[in-house]
Amino acid sequence: MTSTTLEITGMTCEACARHVEQVLLGVRGVQAASVSYRERTARVTGHAMTSDALASAVGGAGYVATPRDGAGTGMKDAGPGPSAGAGPSTPIDAREGLSPLRVAVVGSGGGAMAAALKAAEHGATVTLIERGLIGGTCVNVGCVPSKILIRAAHIAHLRRDSPFDAGLSASPVSVDRPRLLAQQQGRVEELRRAKYEGILAGIPAITAVRGEARFTDGHTLAVTLTEGGERLVPFDRCLIATGASASVPPIQGLANTPYWTSTEALASDTVPSRLAVIGSSVVAAELAQAFARLGSDVTILARSTLFLREDPAIGEAMTEAFRAEGMTVLPHTQVSAVSFTDGEFTVVTSHGLVHADRLLVATGRTPNTRGLDLDACGVRLDAHGAIVVDDHLRTSAPHIYAAGDCTPLPQFVYVAAAAGTRAAINMAGGDAALDLTTMPAVVFTDPQVATVGLSEAAAHRLSIETDTRTLPLDAVPRALVNFDTRGFIKVVAEAGTGRLLGVQAVAPEAGEIIQTAALAIRAHMTVHELADQLFPYLTMVEGLKLAAQTFTKDVSQLSCCAG
């Protein structure tokens, strides 16, 4: 009979200590195990035990075990595994002496689904818990319905007004919003069934539970079921992917009015005659322009300027574009009070009163972390209520991960999905980090706004000296033949080396440009190497080559498609 003492890290309560005890007792050769939460130790006795086997078992449960005397091999989480780009590691259910890893996923949006699918692929049994509609924000009330509305509004705009009206007669547009809404929601439901509900139903390793989850300790969720009653869900690893909800500012009187958030705006079957929008970033800009093009008289109330966090040229260009379409943009406007009487909103601002039939509040989103009882499992929040994670998506409880809009990560569904996938790889013992260095972002206004990498100001904050060029769109052949030269392409390079650092674009197809820039940054290209690449003539992305060429040439003196 031999005995050993292990240092245990990752425990957050007495229940964790009991869980570690049970895990250790399941290891071949162990006769007795005693775990102290206060001392963060485990004393194990038995025959033919190895430190590796003990550490592996504890690691598989979400903790870290290290022999107190330094002998043996400790494991980091559940041991080495594949990188983010690698295929599946040895299935979890093949681990000698251990049952399949139990993974709980709270939420069912992009990050949650990606994690559930990857965890199941690695051999885990997954319980996915959703309190509302399967599919989360993006497919139900975010990306999908908003882009349908924006596209419909774009078509309406072109029928009414285009650069070719001299030769193609414009015509009045009759907007049947109830029919557009039916078309929109039909596609939403189709995608929810095909990409979420149908996929979940077809994977036996994933069980979907409908209800609201809260933590009772570090390894158990209590779910208040939608159909009534409660169910306990024990887990070895957990991913929190509960998303975010519209943030509503504390404006006097606002809470007592029937204001819209983006959810109500997208679900409305009417187009208001007058729409006031409080906000100045992505959602505010996209929906404001969409409703303006469908027939609303729109006023944007911006506390500072449009797109304050981006390069100032972006906000200036979009303000000009919106005003050219007849929208009212009021920058540096503070809203102090809101009232609603006889079907009309009255908004009190620092520049006077604004009257509207509908009021859209689009001032950001708040993480959905209340009600989870995160104190019970030791998960830490930041000052804004978001779950703090490292680049491996681990929370302050090492066996609990988080992804998506409930974290401080950028609120894009593709970021959430990438985070969910990497979290699941790490749950399985992998070592997958989320690298956002070349994260592209697109705003679906017209012209679009697209960015990747560092802006000039961001580079300077990192003490990087820059060399920049801004190419107006009237220097891009595609824009010229489209008779639409609104916008620019700005390239940020490192001074001296010419290394590409970032690109900011305002252009009708900026979203189709930006991924090329992202790949160029990822490849550590210089602007000179980018300028030397072959780009197809009369494409908008050719503007990226031209912008790179401006570092050494006057592109106005080049012939068409000059290499």
Q: Give the model confidence (pLDDT) of 486-537 as tens digits.
A: 999 999 999 999 999 999 999 999 999 999 999 999 999 999 999 999 999 9
**Other beta carbons within 10 Å of 168:** 11
Annotated catalytic sites, by residue? 11, 13, 16, 63, 138, 143, 560-561
Average pLDDT over residues 136-165: 97
The residues spanned by each domain of the chain are 2-67, 85-247+364-436, 254-363, 441-557
If we measure between CA atoms, which residue out of 86, 128, 84, 134 comes closest to residue 103?
128
On the CB side of 378, how many CA atoms lie within 13 Å of its CA?
20
Q: Write the pLDDT tens digit of every residue in 345-382.
A: 999 999 999 999 999 999 999 999 999 999 999 999 99
pLDDT grade for 12, boundaries at 50, 70 and 90: low
* CATH fold of 85-247+364-436: FAD/NAD(P)-binding domain (3.50.50)
Q: What angle do CA 514, 538, 148 make, to 5 degrees?
A: 50
Contact assessment for residue 21 and residue 219, using Cβ atoms and an 8 Å cutoff:
no
For residue 57, pLDDT beyond 50: yes
Q: Considering just the CA atoms, what is the radius of gyration of the chain in Å?
A: 27
If we measure between CA atoms, which residue out of 457, 454, 448, 435 comes closest to residue 503?
454
Contact assessment for residue 320 and residue 377, using Cβ atoms and an 8 Å cutoff:
no
Q: What are phi and psi of 505, to 5 degrees?
A: -135, 135
Q: In CATH, what class is 254-363?
A: alpha beta
User: Which residues share a beta bridge with 489?
Assistant: 471, 505
Q: Which residues contact 84 (CB under 8 A, 6 or more apart)?
A: 421, 422, 425, 430, 432, 433
How far is it, in rounded angstroms, from Cα 14 to Cα 21?
A: 11
- Total-model pTM: 0.83
Q: Was domain 441-557 assigned CATH 3.30.390.30?
A: yes
Q: What angle do CA 24, 26, 31 make, to 5 degrees?
A: 75
How far is it, in rounded angstroms, from Cα 380 to Cα 374?
A: 7
If we measure between CA atoms, which residue out of 544, 519, 526 comes closest to residue 534?
544
For residue 86, pLDDT beyond 50: no
Q: Answer with the residue of higher pLDDT: 45 or 209.
A: 209
Please tell me if the domain spanning 85-247+364-436 has the same topology as the one spanning 254-363.
yes
pLDDT grade for 414, boundaries at 50, 70 and 90: very high
Helix (H, G, I), strand (E, B) or coil at 20: helix
CATH number of the structural domain 2-67: 3.30.70.100
Mean confidence (pLDDT) of the chain: 92
If we measure between CA atoms, which residue out of 499, 507, 494 comes closest to residue 541?
507
| Full strand arrangement of the beta sheet holding 328-330 | 328-330, 297-301, 274-278, 358-361
